[in-house]
């Protein structure tokens, strides 16, 4: 693989949450390889797929081998990602506090839609880089959970007003408003149910 192609593969896998263990070895605790390969193809790297050798690792303990924590600290820059999560919280927590403080003066429908778009865009950029490690491997007081709960609550508070704006201004050619898919009301709810079940 040429250096430029290797760098493009590294960046594409980084945005899929992969960490790097040495030169050319990428790791992920629970990767969906089909989705990762699809992402490479979208980036115009289908030719690189033939040069990759996906492997599934099993836990093995032989003498003084590196621990899981050692592997995590080598593969991912969780300090940098943690700072990005904290920056997300610093930006959006005042907005949530404002909405919590006075239910009468909520965001206008247009503001709610714009906030909802920005919120999901910013959160998704973090989530794509997050390997979503099991709690036992994540750093103590990992801010990813704080950001997830913040995003969930703010999104659900913005949803009714932002949908009202879409209903008023985004109509089909026949002037009708399409019905929202059931998945819309389940966003974040199914994820929380799984998290509660796991705990």
Q: Specify the pLDDT at position 62.
A: 52
What's the rounded Cα separation, in Å, for the pair 194 and 199? Answer: 9
Contact, 133 vs 72, CB < 8 A?
yes
Domain boundaries, the chain: 3-73, 77-198
Could you read off the pLDDT of 120-171 as tens digits, one per residue? 999 999 988 888 877 777 788 889 989 999 999 999 889 888 888 888 887 7
Q: Specify the pLDDT at position 88.
A: 97
Contacts (Cβ under 8 Å, ≥6 apart) of 141: none
Output the six-digit token pair for 43. Answer: 């980036």
What's the rounded Cα separation, in Å, for the pair 78 and 8? Answer: 21
């Amino acid at each position: 693989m040429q250096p430029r192609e290797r760098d493009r593969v590294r960046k594409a896998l980084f945005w899929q949450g992969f960490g790097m263990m040495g030169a050319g070895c990428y790791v992920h605790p629970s990767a969906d390889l089909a989705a990762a390969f699809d992402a490479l193809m979208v980036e115009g790297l289908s030719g690189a797929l033939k040069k990759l050798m996906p492997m599934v690792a099993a836990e093995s303990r032989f003498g003084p081998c590196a621990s899981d924590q050692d592997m995590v600290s080598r593969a991912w820059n969780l300090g940098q990602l943690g700072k990005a999560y904290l920056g997300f919280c610093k930006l959006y927590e005042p907005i949530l506090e404002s909405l919590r403080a006075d239910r009468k003066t909520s965001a206008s429908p247009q503001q709610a839609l714009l906030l909802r778009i920005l919120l999901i865009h910013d959160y998704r950029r973090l989530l794509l880089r997050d390997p979503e490690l099991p709690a036992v491997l994540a750093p103590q007081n990992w801010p990813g959970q704080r950001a997830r709960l913040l995003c969930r609550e703010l999104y659900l508070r913005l949803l009714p007003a932002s949908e009202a704006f879409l209903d008023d201004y985004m109509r089909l050619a026949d002037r009708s408003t399409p019905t929202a898919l059931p998945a819309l009301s389940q966003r974040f709810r199914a994820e929380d149910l799984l998290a509660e079940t796991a705990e």
